[in-house]
Structure 1
Amino acid sequence: MLFAPVALGLGSVLWFACGADISPAVPLSCAVVLLLLLAVTDRGREWSRICVASMTLIAVGILAAQFETWRAGTVVLDSAVTTTLTGRVERRESDGRGGWRYLLALKATENPALKRLPEQVTVIARGQKAEFETGTWLKGRARLTPPSGPALPGLNDFSFGAYFDGVGGNGFFYGAPAVVPADEPGSASMQDRALEWLYRLRSGIGDRIRGILPGDTGAFAAALVTDERRAISSETTEALRQSGLAHIIAISGLNMALSAGIFFVGFRTVLSLLPAVVQAYPVKKIAAAGALAAVTAYFLISGFAVSAERAFIMMAIMLAAVFFDRPSISLRNVTLSALVIIVLSPSEIMGPSFQMSFAATLALVAGYALWKERPVRDRPFAKFRAVRMLSSAAAFFGGILLTSVIGGFSTALFSVEHFHRLTAYGLPANLAAMPIISFIIMPFGLIAMLLMPFGLDVWAWQVTGFGLDLVIAIARTVASWGGDIGVGRLAFWYFPAAVTGFLLLTLLRSRMRHLGTAILVASTTAAAMLGGPPPPKIVIAEDGSMAGIVSDNGLATNRERPPGFIFDQWRRALVIDKHLSPAFPALPDIPTAPRGERLKLTEAQQNDTMNAIKASATGERFSCVKKSWCTAKLDNGSILTVIENAAFLGPACDISDIVVTPVRLRLDTCRSGALLFTGETLRKTGAVELRFPNGIAEITTSFEGLDRPWIRHRAYDWRSGTFGESETLSDSGG
């Protein structure tokens, strides 16, 4: 039973990691045959039945992943475009910088009209007139781009999550959009109207909280209730992350457990004050029903966030266990909740949120089970009240310490895999913050929510805000100590090996669990001693606008201010902090472009200027002519040039060994034999890494093919309206 979600999830992982789609008939036939085989297998042959059942669950996991992929069917924008769009506001969220982020259900586009119209896009609107309610129809000029792929090969593919979230693009409005009337008012279904009312309620709650509590305090409080996290400043978010307290922001198992526990204990205590009720009714089950209603309401106003969905299902199963007089905290309940989530949303198993959430829960519940099995000794001094009080206090803080240690160690593996970093001071930060969260923030936040319909919630939010200010102060203090340890990418075999050891350690109930400990320790030791893959020499962003050179001195790029979203991922994965900005040498006879215009040169001027820049390039650092090109010389003698204007392609190919341009050219090779990466080729390969073993260029791409639904939009040709053949660069090309 405990390993059932492991087999089911393994099937889903195999489907999502596969390089191409397979016919559903294959896993369906396998599942049917295996079920028949399971039915005829002798019940006395336990291991045979376990093997057949595991293979059956793997086949079912593949089918579940295929069904979710088919059900999503998201139309993803194929390339960046500026268009006039008309859409309905489905959700909104403040971004904390005077803007609003809207999820729009698109109805139409014009100038140009898109052939493949995404059903939903996220668009940011800024300005005083940019606040619109859910259900409003908007029209405005906007810049839309497809969801981004991995920043480097092997990193998180954001288009995967966007596909299964139903979001086909993102962008921003040029100015505030205009409100337009709906063509068919009142045509929305009952479900749509219910969701619209719910999202209006959610937005209203968030606005009221932010109106009572100013700045980051109000944004933090609203995030704990409605999961609107973008209003929190980047400084506070970074402090929470570096201190290991970022998990507090997400509506996850901690928030749900505290809210359910506080409501359960409080409601049961109130009922226990009524002797007639206690004698006539099952007070514990009534309190569990009330707590279930509370967490259901919490989930509904949280905006159906993924982390909240998992936490709600888990808490609902645990509270439902009380109705049947079953233990609430058990590995079987965790297993059941995992099965439900994997069946409903198998794609979630690929993300860090699912993995870290269940890893922490699994480790804590397994640790709780071992703690209950410990031998209990008599305490001769327990009859003294002072001793009991000290013992209770020690048990509380010891529980926080043990919980923080178990939670920190259980999620460290996944933090290294997905974020390439560890937090050194998460333990003291959680020890200081958890009592505040448990005794101030969550209880008074719950009281405030209960009093909000009556308008009596101001004082309770102020007490909650006091607690949140303390947590923010703790986060900033701990973050100032440093302790953000960069790990970088590890060997490809480490993560599956370590996860195998972790699952054996937490799920096995016999001494065989120590086999998991041995695997976990051995794989971690080997990974630490052997290190990760060799770092690339050159990294290229998927749009071709930025290239980087990795050296002992730092990471040199062709951008003075590299875009933070991509560059931060590069630095974490490559474990490099120092950015080497490009130089702009003052060379004679180099004309300058008029303000806001591109530089125009004759062919002779192009050759002379490029050769002059090439000669000035030293120390694996870019030398640039603004808004034209950048050139760098590698330590192996190779010349790398990034051009912004296709007019400079010829001279760049002549003087360089590697040429990069964001322009979507139909060419994919230089006549000189230089490697050429264009906006069109990079669109199909994603971000690229180059290494030079033995002086030969070895190319690693993010995508080996474009056959999967969440990346197939990269092969679309809007001119012909068809999906072209998947073309990628060879991993061993040169």
Structure 2
Amino acid sequence: MNDTEGRYASHDAERGSFLLSGSDPANAVAVLAPNAPPALLSTRVKRGISIFSAHLSPRLVKVSFASAIEDERAFGHGFVLIPVLLSFGVLTWLSLPFDVGIAKLALLLCVFGMATVACVGKSALLRAPLIAAMLFVAGMVLIAAETARIDTIILDAPVTTNVRGVVFSREQDDRGQWRYGVEVRETTKPRLRRQPTRITLVARGRDEPLPIGATIEGRARLSPPSGPALPGLNDFAFDSYFRGIGAVGFFYGSPTGGKAPAAGELEATLSFGSSLATSIASIREAVGERIRTAIGGDTGALAAALVTAEERAISRETVEVLRQAGLAHVLAISGLNMALAAGTFLIGARTVLSMVPGLAHRVPVKKVAAAGALLMVCLYILIAGGAVSALRAWIMISIMLVAVFFDRMSISLRNVALAAIVIVSLTPSAVAGPGFQMSFAATLALVAGYARWRERRETELPAAERRSKGRGLVTGVVAGVVITSLIGGLATSVYSIAYFHRLPAYGLLANVLTMPVISIVIMPFGLFAMLLMPLGLEHYPLVAMAWGLDRMLDIARFVTSLDGEIVTGRIGHLGFVLIAAGGILVCVLRSWLALSGALLICAGLVSLAVERDRLPDVVIAEDGRLIGLVANGAIATNRTRPSDFVFSQWQRALAVGRHLAPVTLAPPAFADPYPATEPNGKGAPPLEEAKVAAIRADLSSAIEANAAGVFICREKQWCAARNTYGWTIIALENPRLFPALCGLADLVMTAARVDGATCPSDRAHIVNARTLRRTGAIEIRAQPDTEQAPPPMQFRTAFTTLARPWERHRAYDWRTATFTDDPPGI
């Protein structure tokens, strides 16, 4: 080796030692002798690759990984991952197509628990995965136990019957109608074999409402809770099952009942738990009514919602404006509301106590104020109704206030984890809801961001600058509001897309403009009003609160006028899971292991871009009354005014804005061939051949004359259309026409029960009430890569199994009082 080679070899060795000591191995080749002669290029590259390989050797990777694990353990982030693993276990159990019994899960939990104990002090690397598996199974045990404990009886089919029961809750909507929660005592004419324990019924009359605890009875139309509007969307029967609600419906006319019983009679009528809940509901309703009476209008309904979480009295227009502006979170009793209430009380009480001469020297006024704030938030959660977001906020705020007693730091990831553990342990089913996921995602991101900002401030800023007060106060407040809104918005955006299929484009602007009003006016004066309400002095604080709410609505309307809502449509499940898991890891981990979270987020974004499924060509609602043709960014339906509950979900999930209403035909010129509609066509004589021919000719000529992709309808008889693939689709309202028309169609839909054997042709796919009860909503796509014209239909149903408890009612046959085991299908 000559002198030149020796110098560069020495230089390479020094660089290699530096790289192995912790620099970026990606720069290895670049820094190795950058001015080397061309003759030494090959040697330099080989040595760079050798150094890079040595840096990624299994031994060094193992050491680096072990060091990162120790760092995370020192931060205490193992505890933070406990609720994450429990939640994954809950979600896995809920997503299974079958039930896994508690006994099997408990046995599996014992196996992992014993294996974990056996590894103590022997194999640390094996112990961590065993603990993770144990927590995962523990989550499955929790949700299986809750499901078995609740065991809600869900009504199997719509029915009209006489209902008698006890009112355990009531709410008034924006149209003045009352929705009663009824604990059912008896049903008659007919008596239900599978009688739900609790139901909700709407009274449409304007009569004086019955009080909570009163008996109520009347003729009512009951229905099972709705299933998903499309496959993969929210199943309302799932939510109702875990809330204990077995049916929904309305009274025919005004219900009758007696007066509310006295306290002793109420306890004898209801169980202790139900009696306590009823008493709290009465107080909650009284508070909401006083607020709405004092303020009035939508502003009063908003003020009551911020205190009692009763949102039904808010008009739909106002709710939609808040959603489009990105301010819907204000309606939920969340960390923002409770933190502002607790902070206002804490600061106010501490200030008042400090003004008493000599008291601050004898009594720890900060801890006394914290005790008062703790009592206040406990009363707040009772009045607020115990929603998941409110419960999470209450637990965290309570921990923060208790930490004041011991002079400990109150804001930390451990507090977030502890709140999550409590909720998952008490109500594991809440994990599957958007309220739990969005609430904890936002809180986790904000706490993690605050922790990183605090560490950076303590390490990088000079001590003198940290001690300076009042410098840049306005700038700091504005920056804090902007950053908080940005972090919260980013953290919850993927959940908003996954569950609601839309994003507010100007949500950041709306939150920045409204946060000062909420923080300075709305919540503080709302707190003052609640403190003064027992004295009857709440009027003027409520007036100030109403002024702030009016300004918030003005801002929401301004932002909504910018037309910035983004409708995203459905997204793939894999991408959603990857982004959610990556976000958790980025927030929780502090070492270089946090890069794994960033990689998961990137993989999730790639998956969303690749995984997007093509839109269905035909969609059918589960009640068989609404059918839609999807093409060219529009959806054509068989209803001029389709049900907003279903149709709005279709529009957002499919990201189609335009609605093509059907063309309604005038009565035919020939003698009326259409018989009167009779339920299911029973008891009616068969149609004459001449009438059948006239009906078929009428429908065929109407389809030929109508444009493709739009329904044409004979009122109360049929609607028909031909889509771009050439499928002929008929929606029957008169079931007596089924034998006459089914042979003309590729798809026949009716909300009645019809016998497919009466169809003279096997060409048509028949979707009727019996089919839809088992399948739920249906999507139909054209089979790709086929030369057939028209292409065959591919069906996707909302339910592929009816084995889960919240789906099982669909398999019940009331005629035989048995459950059928046939899988759903067309």
For residue 347 of structure 2, what is the aligned residue in structure 1? Answer: 265
Report deviation, 1:393. Answer: 1.5
Gaps of 5+ in 2: 1-78
Instruction: Tell me the amino acid that sits aligned with residue 253 of structure 1.
Output: G
1:542 aligns to 2:645 (yes or no): no
| Cα distance in 1 for residues equivalent to 2:755 and 2:370 | 64
Instruction: Tell me the amino acid that sits aligned with residue 614 of structure 1.
Output: I
| Cα distance in 2 for residues equivalent to 1:135 and 1:265 | 39
| Cα distance in 1 for residues equivalent to 2:383 and 2:101 | 39
For residue 515 of structure 1, what is the aligned residue in structure 2? Answer: 596
Q: Per the alignment, in what secondary structure is the counterpart of residue 648 of structure 1?
A: helix
Report deviation, 1:82. Answer: 1.4
Which moves more between the two structures, 332-341 or 690-699?
690-699
Q: Is the 8 A contact 1:100 1:130 kept in 2?
A: no
Q: Is the 8 A contact 1:668 1:677 kept in 2?
A: no
| Cα distance in 2 for residues equivalent to 1:471 and 1:453 | 28
For residue 656 of structure 1, what is the aligned residue in structure 2? Answer: 745
1:443 aligns to 2:524 (yes or no): yes
Q: In structure 1, which of residues 441, 447, 457 is the aligned counterpart of residue 538 of structure 2?
A: 457
Report deviation, 1:596. Answer: 9.8
**Structure 1 residues 222 and 720, CA gap change in structure 2 (3 angstroms):** same
| Cα distance in 2 for residues equivalent to 1:40 and 1:214 | 65
Report deviation, 1:454. Answer: 0.8
Which TM-score applies when normalising by structure 2?
0.85
| Cα distance in 2 for residues equivalent to 1:131 and 1:517 | 55
Q: Is the 8 A contact 1:557 1:580 kept in 2?
A: yes
Q: Is the 8 A contact 2:211 2:260 kept in 1?
A: no
1:216 aligns to 2:306 (yes or no): no
For residue 815 of structure 2, what is the aligned residue in structure 1? Answer: 719
For residue 766 of structure 2, what is the aligned residue in structure 1? Answer: 676
Q: Is the 8 A contact 1:43 1:49 kept in 2?
A: no
1:483 aligns to 2:579 (yes or no): no
| Cα distance in 2 for residues equivalent to 1:35 and 1:447 | 51
Gaps of 5+ in 1: none
| Cα distance in 2 for residues equivalent to 1:727 and 1:522 | 35
Q: In structure 1, which of residues 558, 562, 570 is the aligned counterpart of residue 638 of structure 2?
A: 558
Q: Per the alignment, in what secondary structure is the counterpart of residue 663 of structure 2?
A: coil
Q: Per the alignment, in what secondary structure is the counterpart of residue 292 of structure 1?
A: helix
| Cα distance in 2 for residues equivalent to 1:692 and 1:628 | 27
Q: Which runs of 4+ in 1 moved over 6 A?
A: 181-184, 379-384, 592-601
For residue 333 of structure 1, what is the aligned residue in structure 2? Answer: 415
Report deviation, 1:109. Answer: 1.4
Report deviation, 1:138. Answer: 1.1
| Cα distance in 2 for residues equivalent to 1:262 and 1:315 | 13
| Cα distance in 2 for residues equivalent to 1:714 and 1:616 | 40
Report deviation, 1:307. Answer: 2.5
For residue 93 of structure 1, what is the aligned residue in structure 2? Answer: 171
1:619 aligns to 2:715 (yes or no): no
Q: Is the 8 A contact 2:673 2:695 kept in 1?
A: no
Report deviation, 1:281. Answer: 3.2
Superposed, 1:27-46 pairs within 5 Å as: 27-43=105-121, 45-46=123-124
Q: Is the 8 A contact 1:621 1:632 kept in 2?
A: yes
Alpha-carbon deviations, 1:495-532, whole Å to 9, x = none? 1111121111011011221331232134224523x361
Q: Per the alignment, in what secondary structure is the counterpart of residue 3 of structure 1?
A: helix
Q: Per the alignment, in what secondary structure is the counterpart of residue 167 of structure 2?
A: strand
Report deviation, 1:390. Answer: 5.7
For residue 692 of structure 2, what is the aligned residue in structure 1? Answer: 603
Superposed, 1:422-441 pairs within 5 Å as: 422-441=503-522
Q: Is the 8 A contact 1:544 1:660 kept in 2?
A: yes
Instruction: Tell me the amino acid that sits aligned with residue 625 of structure 1.
Output: R
| Cα distance in 1 for residues equivalent to 2:768 and 2:677 | 24
| Cα distance in 2 for residues equivalent to 1:378 and 1:64 | 49
Instruction: Tell me the amino acid that sits aligned with residue 346 of structure 2.
Output: F
**Structure 1 residues 590 and 724, CA gap change in structure 2 (3 angstroms):** farther
| Cα distance in 1 for residues equivalent to 2:150 and 2:406 | 36
Instruction: Tell me the amino acid that sits aligned with residue 96 of structure 2.
Output: C
Report deviation, 1:264. Answer: 1.5
| Cα distance in 1 for residues equivalent to 2:257 and 2:757 | 45
Which moves more between the two structures, 77-86 or 657-666?
657-666
| Cα distance in 1 for residues equivalent to 2:415 and 2:543 | 37
Q: In structure 2, which of residues 392, 395, 398 is the aligned counterpart of residue 313 of structure 1?
A: 395
Which moves more between the two structures, 46-55 or 453-462?
46-55
1:343 aligns to 2:425 (yes or no): yes
1:159 aligns to 2:237 (yes or no): yes
1:250 aligns to 2:332 (yes or no): yes
| Cα distance in 1 for residues equivalent to 2:661 and 2:592 | 56
Q: Per the alignment, in what secondary structure is the counterpart of residue 493 of structure 1?
A: helix
For residue 377 of structure 1, what is the aligned residue in structure 2? Answer: 461
| Cα distance in 2 for residues equivalent to 1:485 and 1:442 | 30
Alpha-carbon deviations, 1:282-333, whole Å to 9, x = none? 3333222211111110111112233222222222223223333332110011
Percent of matched pairs sharing the same residue: 44
**Structure 1 residues 276 and 381, CA gap change in structure 2 (3 angstroms):** closer
| Cα distance in 1 for residues equivalent to 2:800 and 2:438 | 28
Report deviation, 1:727. Answer: 2.6
Alpha-carbon deviations, 1:135-188, whole Å to 9, x = none? 111111111111101000001111101000000111111221111479994523
Q: Per the alignment, in what secondary structure is the counterpart of residue 90 of structure 1?
A: strand
Q: CA RMSD in A?
A: 2.2
Which TM-score applies when normalising by structure 1?
0.95
1:290 aligns to 2:372 (yes or no): yes
Q: Is the 8 A contact 1:83 1:141 kept in 2?
A: yes
Instruction: Tell me the amino acid that sits aligned with residue 377 of structure 1.
Output: L
Q: Is the 8 A contact 1:12 1:346 kept in 2?
A: yes
| Cα distance in 2 for residues equivalent to 1:485 and 1:36 | 51
| Cα distance in 2 for residues equivalent to 1:233 and 1:380 | 53
Based on CA coordinates, which of the two structures has the bigger radius of gyration?
2
| Cα distance in 2 for residues equivalent to 1:63 and 1:154 | 25
For residue 104 of structure 2, what is the aligned residue in structure 1? Answer: 26
Q: Give the paired residue count.
A: 726
For residue 689 of structure 1, what is the aligned residue in structure 2? Answer: 779
Alpha-carbon deviations, 1:96-122, whole Å to 9, x = none? 102111111111112222111111111
**Structure 1 residues 368 and 100, CA gap change in structure 2 (3 angstroms):** same
Answer 1 or 2: which has greater helix percent: 2
**Structure 1 residues 225 and 521, CA gap change in structure 2 (3 angstroms):** same
Q: Is the 8 A contact 2:575 2:604 kept in 1?
A: yes
Q: In structure 1, which of residues 166, 172, 177 is the aligned counterpart of residue 250 of structure 2?
A: 172
**Structure 1 residues 11 and 444, CA gap change in structure 2 (3 angstroms):** same
For residue 629 of structure 1, what is the aligned residue in structure 2? Answer: 718
| Cα distance in 2 for residues equivalent to 1:364 and 1:383 | 24
| Cα distance in 2 for residues equivalent to 1:283 and 1:665 | 75
Instruction: Tell me the amino acid that sits aligned with residue 813 of structure 2.
Output: D
Q: Is the 8 A contact 1:99 1:130 kept in 2?
A: no
Q: In structure 2, which of residues 552, 577, 588 is the aligned counterpart of residue 471 of structure 1?
A: 552
| Cα distance in 2 for residues equivalent to 1:64 and 1:553 | 44
Report deviation, 1:130. Answer: 4.7
Alpha-carbon deviations, 1:228-264, whole Å to 9, x = none? 1011111110000000000001111111111111111
Which moves more between the two structures, 177-186 or 390-399?
177-186
**Structure 1 residues 659 and 590, CA gap change in structure 2 (3 angstroms):** farther
**Structure 1 residues 160 and 192, CA gap change in structure 2 (3 angstroms):** closer
**Structure 1 residues 726 and 211, CA gap change in structure 2 (3 angstroms):** same
**Structure 1 residues 119 and 382, CA gap change in structure 2 (3 angstroms):** closer
Instruction: Tell me the amino acid that sits aligned with residue 544 of structure 2.
Output: V
Instruction: Tell me the amino acid that sits aligned with residue 561 of structure 1.
Output: R
Q: In structure 1, which of residues 626, 635, 638 is the aligned counterpart of residue 727 of structure 2?
A: 638
